[in-house]
Amino acid sequence: MTYELTIEPLGQTVEVEAGQTLLDASLRAGVYLPHACGHGLCGTCKVQVLDGEVDHGPISSFALMDFEIAEGMCLACCATAETDITIEADIDDEPDHEAFAEFREQALRALARDSAAFTYRPSTLVSSICFARRDRCDYIGMFKDHQSAFEHKPWVESALSDRGIAGIPWKYVADEEQLDLERSVAGGPLMLRRSRTSGGTGLVKVTTPEEMAVHWPHEREAFVSVAPYLDGGIPLNVGGVVWHDGVTVHPASIQLIGIEGCTTRPFGYCGNDFSSVHDLDRSVLDDVDHGTHSVGQWLRENGYRGSFGVDFLVVQGRALFTEVNPRFQGSTHLSSEISTREGQGCIVLEHLAACLGIDAPTPMPLREIGRGGGSHIVLHAPGPGRSRIDGLDLASKLSERPDVRRIDVLTRPDLVTDPGATVARVTVAGSVTTTGFDLFSPWTEMVKDVATG
Dist. CA 306–CA 315, nearest whole Å: 29
Q: Which is nearer to ligand FES, 65 or 110 (CB)?
A: 65
For position 250 contacting ligand FES by CB under 6 A, the verdict is no
Which range binds ligand FES by CB under 6 A, 42-50, 130-138, 255-263, 407-415?
42-50
Burial 406-421 (b: 16+ CB within 10 A, else e): ebebebeeeeebeebb
For position 69 contacting ligand FES by CB under 6 A, the verdict is no
Half-sphere exposure of 34 (CA within 13 A, CB side): 17
Q: How far is the CB of 94 from ligand FES (least distance, A)?
A: 20
For position 63 contacting ligand FES by CB under 6 A, the verdict is yes
Which range binds ligand FES by CB under 6 A, 33-41, 206-214, 379-387, 441-449?
33-41
Q: Which is nearer to ligand FES, 23 or 190 (CB)?
A: 23
Q: How far is the CB of 93 from ligand FES (least distance, A)?
A: 17
Q: What are phi and psi of 404, to 5 degrees?
A: -70, 125
Sign of the C-alpha dihedral, residues 338, 294, 258, 94? positive
Q: Which is nearer to ligand FES, 46 or 293 (CB)?
A: 46
> For ligand FES, which residue of 26, 35, 121, 377 counts as binding (CB under 6 A)?
35
Q: Which is nearer to ligand FES, 68 or 286 (CB)?
A: 68
For position 43 contacting ligand FES by CB under 6 A, the verdict is yes
DSSP 339-379: HHHTTPPPHHHHHHHHHTTPPPPPPPPGGGS-TT--EEEEE
Q: How far is the CB of 134 from ligand FES (least distance, A)?
A: 21
Sequence-separated (6 or more) residues with CB below 8 Å from residue 8: 50, 86, 87, 88, 89
Q: How far is CA 265 from CA 11, 198, 256, 258, in A?
A: 19, 12, 12, 6
Sequence-separated (6 or more) residues with CB below 8 Å from residue 213: 178, 182
For position 29 contacting ligand FES by CB under 6 A, the verdict is no
Dist. CA 428–CA 250, nearest whole Å: 19
Q: How far is the CB of 303 from ligand FES (least distance, A)?
A: 29
Q: How far is CA 238 from CA 80, 119, 200, 230, 277, in A?
A: 48, 20, 16, 20, 11
Answer whether 217's CB lies under 8 Å from 202's CB: yes
Which range binds ligand FES by CB under 6 A, 39-47, 118-126, 389-397, 416-424?
39-47
For position 27 contacting ligand FES by CB under 6 A, the verdict is no
> For ligand FES, which residue of 36, 213, 356, 358 counts as binding (CB under 6 A)?
36
For position 22 contacting ligand FES by CB under 6 A, the verdict is no
Q: Which is nearer to ligand FES, 35 or 425 (CB)?
A: 35
Nearest alpha carbon to residue 290 among 319, 327, 267: 319
Instruction: Write the interaction track for ligand FES spanning residues 74-113; mark x where CB under 6 A is met and - where it is not.
Output: -x-x------------------------------------
Q: How far is the CB of 64 from ligand FES (least distance, A)?
A: 8
Q: How far is CA 177 from CA 123, 216, 405, in A?
A: 34, 12, 51
Q: How many of the chain's residues bind ligand FES (CB under 6 A)?
A: 13
> For ligand FES, which residue of 14, 27, 29, 42 counts as binding (CB under 6 A)?
42
- Applying CB under 6 A, the residues found at the interface with ligand FES are 35-38, 40-45, 63, 75, 77
